[in-house]
Amino acid sequence: MGAGLVGSLLSLYLAQRGHEVTIYERRADLRKAGSVEGRSINLALSDRGWRALEGVGIGEEIRRVGIPMYRRVMHDQQGQLSFQPYGQDNQAIYSVSRAGLNRTLLDLAEQNPRIQLRFNEQCLGIDLRANHLELRDTLTGAQHTVPFQQLFGTDGAFSAVRGAMQRTDRFNYSQSYLEYGYKELTIEAGPGGEWPLEKNALHIWPRGQYLMIALPNLDGSFNCTLFFPYEGAHSFAALQTAAQVQAFFEEIFPDALPLMPDLREEFFQNPVGSLVTVRCFPWAFDDNVLLLGDASHAIVPFYGQGMNAGFEDCTVLNELLEHHGNDWSTVFEQFQRQRKPDADAMAELALYNFEEMRDRVADPRFLLQKKIESKIAAQYPGQWLSLYSQVTFSHIPYAEAWANGQRQEQIMRRLMPHIQAEADFAKPAVQTLIRNELAQQERQPPSEG
Amino acid sequence: MGAGLVGSLLSLYLAQRGHEVTIYERRADLRKAGSVEGRSINLALSDRGWRALEGVGIGEEIRRVGIPMYRRVMHDQQGQLSFQPYGQDNQAIYSVSRAGLNRTLLDLAEQNPRIQLRFNEQCLGIDLRANHLELRDTLTGAQHTVPFQQLFGTDGAFSAVRGAMQRTDRFNYSQSYLEYGYKELTIEAGPGGEWPLEKNALHIWPRGQYLMIALPNLDGSFNCTLFFPYEGAHSFAALQTAAQVQAFFEEIFPDALPLMPDLREEFFQNPVGSLVTVRCFPWAFDDNVLLLGDASHAIVPFYGQGMNAGFEDCTVLNELLEHHGNDWSTVFEQFQRQRKPDADAMAELALYNFEEMRDRVADPRFLLQKKIESKIAAQYPGQWLSLYSQVTFSHIPYAEAWANGQRQEQIMRRLMPHIQAEADFAKPAVQTLIRNELAQQERQPPSEG
């Protein structure tokens, strides 16, 4: 149930293993003209996502239409820039179009003889005993029932499949909203399709309690997202007129404003989206139903890991099917036991990174710390990988990455009082401190946390 | 919506203020023969509940059919007893029949010309914009729509009203289950209707990871509840045969077993109930809808405060209506702002008391600490009220009680290493310590925590 990014990718994995798959999707086929874009326009693909796409052979095809972003570019209120690389050398996260990626996955699914696509089919309910899915054709209003052997709920943060499971006894569930919403805006392409800001970067306007970001598109434009409080002095509620919006952007985002000619129209036409974290357990009902992606672990977007985590679900499930064959009961049970702690850690990481992006990246001490960490990583390969790199450029389970990152943060808190500038890194006293910390860490194996 | 304890009491408060009230209830009228008892059989009424009942003039009537319980009686595995008074002198919590109390409240509602009762009406949904309630007559299956001015959701932990609110944007919600279930069992009355255990007490069989409790009935019997893991070595899953149940009770509850002649039948006939904590916010939708009682804050039963907290909701709402008249928007907003922190604190307290009842009350050091606290309270009236007394015998807001209790616990942790027996309390060194701690506390006003 659900032909979004995770559902369509999962269908390819299941078909690859010889299974017959029918995908039901509430919305119209997004490849057809006139279909409405539901969610954010750009996504940041990173290593976990790539691995999952490569597993069905489409990594290269997607990479050709993605734009690598090698660093964060921070814009301060005077338009001054500062920079933070994401990783080493050529490491990058990739700006890709959500709709474009979904279209590619649906095209592949459609070409596969084992996969059937059924759009405009709303899930009304599930009979978990009889293994029946109750559907409504949204075009005719007709209701019908279809049997299933295994049902995969890949129908997103507001999953109808999860809704049915929530009515079973002892289903733990929470949905928790930030007091912030988001609005999507546009920085236009320059003359001749030039990118008016550095193309291969993710741009951030950190403002303490809120922020704006921008990701590049292939046509020279950038998609901006303003993450902003619903209420308060600086908030969506406080910006009610075009003049207020204009004055606010002039003061707060002065270097972006000239690049946003449609700002005042877009601001009042585009909706405010809400930011939810969904946690639940169990994810499986016997050997009949399994939730994946946002349906079981919707997170806020600040680590760029929502899609990557959902795609990694497909990788993990595929590995378990490789190992246990069609023993669905074992596969579903192991999947949820293994994956739930990682989903919980990723939810925490995403909330943590909101503070980093809106506030800490504007602090020179924070940027200095990141430079020092990068030097430690270069000097001690295999002993130090930054938290960001573990999450973004590795396949270390999220829970382990988060534990490692917290331990590293403790080390940096002890180290940074001795460092006032980048050059201090080379001082013998600092080098000794680092050596001792790493020796200490060696004695505590990384997976212990 | 909902004619349970909170809904029927609330209708009396609203009618008392001159409002016309119609109560819709999904179930049949529980006063009619053959209706099924849904939930636990006994409840423990304490001061918050009494105040709410007195506000509609039925405190005395209910007190006449309640059984005061002055202390906890702990039964160890050898049948040895120990004791812990609940409060000072005549302070008691009262064992009352849930069904009996609900019947009395419904009789009063029915006699009130401003209140209409409608049973067998299931809430299918709510149109929050049009102020319409969609109902289904469960006897005929016919659906109909009724308009409302204000809708009060008093339909319990699995509230349909809350279900409708959960589908609005930015509704925070969680349901969280313990890995424990409960099963109700019976200790029979002795010959001639005698109580086979001390009548005016709440009996506890604390066993570390689980426990059984018993509350007295008017007919000489006791209702027992076994709180027990679903899975594991000692669990519902492990007791599959009558012989296993018999052997388990012989070993673990040897003094109770001879008083439970129907144990083996009851154990397999009575269902296992689950134990959920529900948290949500907001509780109000504009000036149209308000959730009260378990619908907004279902808690586990270990502090005996579920009904008392729901009844206190009625007291608090009534005070706000007294102050703001029919400015529903202000009343609903202030109600949820004031009451939410208290509901959250009570949920924590209820989970905390599970550990106390199943484990700590079996520890002589814990009982000694409670005796010492009682001596401090007697010596310094107005400066020390035990956490249990604050929750049970006062109207101090739950959040404040919980903060006070945590501060007191810190004091006791510093004090108890100096105390090996009750008599040590009188030692000059101990007296000085206590005086200093209380002087320190005086300088930190109690509401600070």
Tell me the nearest-neighbour CA distance from A67 into chain B, angstroms. 33
Which residues in chain B have their CB less than 8 angstroms from residue A282's CB?
A: none
The verdict on residue A79 lying in a domain is no
The verdict on residue B79 lying in a domain is no
Q: Which residues contact B78 (CB under 8 A, 6 or more apart)?
A: B254
The verdict on residue B73 lying in a domain is no
Q: Is A172 an 8 Å CB contact of chain B?
A: yes
* CA dihedral angle for residue A133, residue A138, residue A141, residue A146, rounded to 10 degrees: -20
Tell me the nearest-neighbour CA distance from B229 into chain A, angstroms. 13
DSSP B150: S
If one compares B88 and B445, the residue with the highest pLDDT of the two is B88
Pair A132, A270 in one domain: no
Which residues in chain A have their CB less than 8 angstroms from residue B176's CB?
A: 172, 174
Tell me the nearest-neighbour CA distance from B17 into chain A, angstroms. 35
Tell me the nearest-neighbour CA distance from A390 into chain B, angstroms. 31
Distance CA A244, CA A238 (A): 8
Pair A44, A150 in one domain: yes
> Rounded to the nearest 10 degrees, what angle do helices A98-111 and A5-16 cross at?
30
Q: Is A174 an 8 Å CB contact of chain B?
A: yes
In the chain, the amino acid numbered B18 is G
pLDDT of residue A447: 47
pLDDT of residue B441: 79
Pair B48, B140 in one domain: yes
Determine, for residues A175 and B175 on separate chains, whether the beta-carbon distance falls below 8 Å: no
C-alpha distance from residue A233 to each of A208, A229, A239, B13 (Å):
14, 9, 9, 39
The verdict on residue B74 lying in a domain is no
pLDDT of residue B447: 47
Residue B194 in tokens: 């005698």
Distance CA B301, CA B350 (A): 7
Distance CA A371, CA A386 (A): 11
Determine, for residues B174 and A170 on separate chains, whether the beta-carbon distance falls below 8 Å: no
**DSSP one-letter string for A278-331:** EEEE--EETTTEEE-THHHH---GGGS-HHHHHHHHHHHHHHHHHHHTT-HHHH
Q: If you count DSSP H runs as helices and E runs as strands, how many of each does chain B have, helices first? A: 14, 18
Please report where in the chains the tokens 């919600």 appear, as a residue.
Answer: B173
Q: What is the pTM of this model?
A: 0.89
Does residue A433 register a pLDDT over 90? yes
Distance CA A163, CA A176 (A): 16
Pairing of strands A172-187, B172-187: antiparallel
Q: How far is CA B394 from the centre of its chain?
A: 15
How many CB atoms within 10 Å of residue B371? 16
Least confident span in A229-243, A386-400, B320-334, B430-444: B430-444
Distance CA B408, CA B380 (A): 13
The domain boundary residue, chosen from B255, B274, B293: B274
Q: Please, are residues A305 and A347 in contact by the beta-carbon 8 Å criterion?
A: no
Scan residues 263-292 of B and list those with Cβ closer than 8 Å to A: 274
The domain boundary residue, chosen from B247, B274, B301: B274
Tell me the nearest-neighbour CA distance from A161 into chain B, angstroms. 15
Q: Is B64 an 8 Å CB contact of chain A?
A: no
Over residues B217-244, the pLDDT tens digits come to 999 999 999 999 999 999 999 999 999 9
Does residue A36 register a pLDDT over 90? no
Does residue A445 register a pLDDT over 90? no
Task: State the DSSP H helix or E strand holding residue B441, giving kind and residue range, or none if neither.
Answer: helix B428-443
Task: State the DSSP H helix or E strand holding residue B284, giving kind and residue range, or none if neither.
Answer: strand B284-285
Confidence class of residue B88 from pLDDT cuts 50, 70 and 90?
A: confident
Q: Any idea what the CATH number is for the domain that residue B21 is in?
A: 3.50.50.60
Question: Whose CA is closest to A173, among B166, B353, B40?
Answer: B166
Q: Please, are residues A42 and A218 in contact by the beta-carbon 8 Å criterion?
A: no
Nearest CA in chain A to B179: A170
Strand partners, B81: B75
**DSSP one-letter string for A192-245:** GG--SS-TTEEEEEE-SS-EEEEEE-TTS-EEEEEEEESSSSSSTTT--SHHHH
Q: Please, are residues B43 and B136 in contact by the beta-carbon 8 Å criterion?
A: no
Over residues B114-128, the pLDDT tens digits come to 999 999 999 999 999
The verdict on residue B367 lying in a domain is yes
Q: Please, are residues B236 and B61 in contact by the beta-carbon 8 Å criterion?
A: no
The verdict on residue B77 lying in a domain is no
Pair A162, A184 in one domain: no
Over residues A343-362, the pLDDT tens digits come to 999 999 999 999 999 999 99
DSSP B317: H
pLDDT of residue A448: 37
Pair A327, A375 in one domain: no
Q: Please, are residues A392 and A47 in contact by the beta-carbon 8 Å criterion?
A: yes
Query: Average pLDDT in the A144-153 region?
Result: 97
DSSP three-state, residue A117: strand
The domain boundary residue, chosen from A354, A373, A403: A354
DSSP three-state, residue B195: coil
pLDDT of residue A20: 98
Give B266: exposed, middle or buried? Use CB within 10 Å, 0-12, 13-18, 19+. Answer: middle
> Angle at CA A377, nearest 5°, toward A372 and A383?
130
Query: Average pLDDT in the B300-312 region?
Result: 97
| Domain hosting residue A50, numbered range | 5-68+88-175+278-354
Q: How far is CA B303 from the centre of its chain?
A: 6
DSSP three-state, residue A121: strand
Pair B296, B438 in one domain: no
Distance CA A364, CA A360 (A): 9
- Number of A/B CB contacts below 8 angstroms equals 30
A172: nearest CB among B169, B176, B230: B176
Q: Please, are residues B122 and B138 in contact by the beta-carbon 8 Å criterion?
A: yes
Pair B38, B151 in one domain: yes
Tell me the nearest-neighbour CA distance from B277 into chain A, angstroms. 10
Mean pLDDT value across chain B: 94
Residue A58 in tokens: 């489409």
Tell me the nearest-neighbour CA distance from B255 into chain A, angstroms. 32
**Main-chain phi, psi angles of A363, to 5 degrees:** -100, 120
Which residues in chain A have their CB less than 8 angstroms from residue B230's CB?
A: 170
Over residues B169-195, the pLDDT tens digits come to 999 999 999 999 999 999 999 999 999
Distance CA A150, CA A10 (A): 13
Mutate to test the interface with A, among B170, B231, B235, B272 (most CBs of A within 10 A): B170
Pair A396, A261 in one domain: no
Over residues A283-332, the pLDDT tens digits come to 999 999 999 999 999 999 999 999 999 999 999 999 999 999 999 999 99
Q: Please, are residues B26 and B120 in contact by the beta-carbon 8 Å criterion?
A: yes
Mutate to test the interface with B, among A124, A177, A178, A180 (most CBs of B within 10 A): A177
A175: nearest CB among B173, B176, B230: B173
Which residues in chain A have their CB less than 8 angstroms from residue B274's CB?
A: 169-170
Pair B16, B93 in one domain: yes
Determine, for residues B176 and A171 on separate chains, whether the beta-carbon distance falls below 8 Å: no
The verdict on residue A448 lying in a domain is no
Residues in chain A: 449
Nearest CA in chain A to B177: A170
Which residues in chain A have their CB less than 8 angstroms from residue B124's CB?
A: none
Confidence class of residue A41 from pLDDT cuts 50, 70 and 90?
A: confident
Nearest CA in chain B to A174: B174
pLDDT of residue B36: 54
Tell me the nearest-neighbour CA distance from B209 into chain A, angstroms. 19
Q: Is A366 left (phi over 0), alpha (psi -120 to 50) or beta?
A: alpha
Q: Is B169 an 8 Å CB contact of chain A?
A: yes
Distance CA A276, CA A265 (A): 27
pLDDT of residue B420: 96
Mutate to test the interface with A, among B159, B162, B165, B176 (most CBs of A within 10 A): B176
Pair A343, A372 in one domain: no
Mutate to test the interface with A, among B173, B182, B280 (most CBs of A within 10 A): B173
Q: Is A231 an 8 Å CB contact of chain B?
A: no
Distance CA A59, CA B44 (A): 63
Distance CA A415, CA B407 (A): 35
Domains held by chain B: number: 3
Does residue B35 register a pLDDT over 70? no
Distance CA B252, CA B226 (A): 12
End-to-end Cα separation, chain A, in angstroms? 37
Determine, for residues A174 and B177 on separate chains, whether the beta-carbon distance falls below 8 Å: no
Does residue B2 register a pLDDT over 70? yes
Tell me the nearest-neighbour CA distance from A179 into chain B, angstroms. 9
Tell me the nearest-neighbour CA distance from A26 into chain B, angstroms. 17
pLDDT of residue B448: 37
Mean pLDDT value across chain A: 94
Distance CA B185, CA B268 (A): 10
Q: How far is CA A3 from the centre of its chain?
A: 18
In the chain, the amino acid numbered A193 is G
Strand partners, A152: A290
Distance CA B110, CA A332 (A): 52
Nearest CA in chain A to B167: A158
Mutate to test the interface with B, among A168, A175, A276 (most CBs of B within 10 A): A175
Which residues in chain B have their CB less than 8 angstroms from residue A236's CB?
A: none
The verdict on residue B369 lying in a domain is yes
Over residues A357-385, the pLDDT tens digits come to 999 999 999 999 999 999 999 999 889 99
Pair A374, A266 in one domain: no
- High-pLDDT (> 70) share of chain A, %: 97
Q: How far is CA A209 from the centre of its chain?
A: 21
B173: nearest CB among A169, A171, A174: A174
Residue A68 in tokens: 């690598």
Pair B402, B258 in one domain: no
Nearest CA in chain A to B159: A167
Determine, for residues B174 and A177 on separate chains, whether the beta-carbon distance falls below 8 Å: no
Scan residues 318-347 of A and list those with Cβ closer than 8 Å to B: none
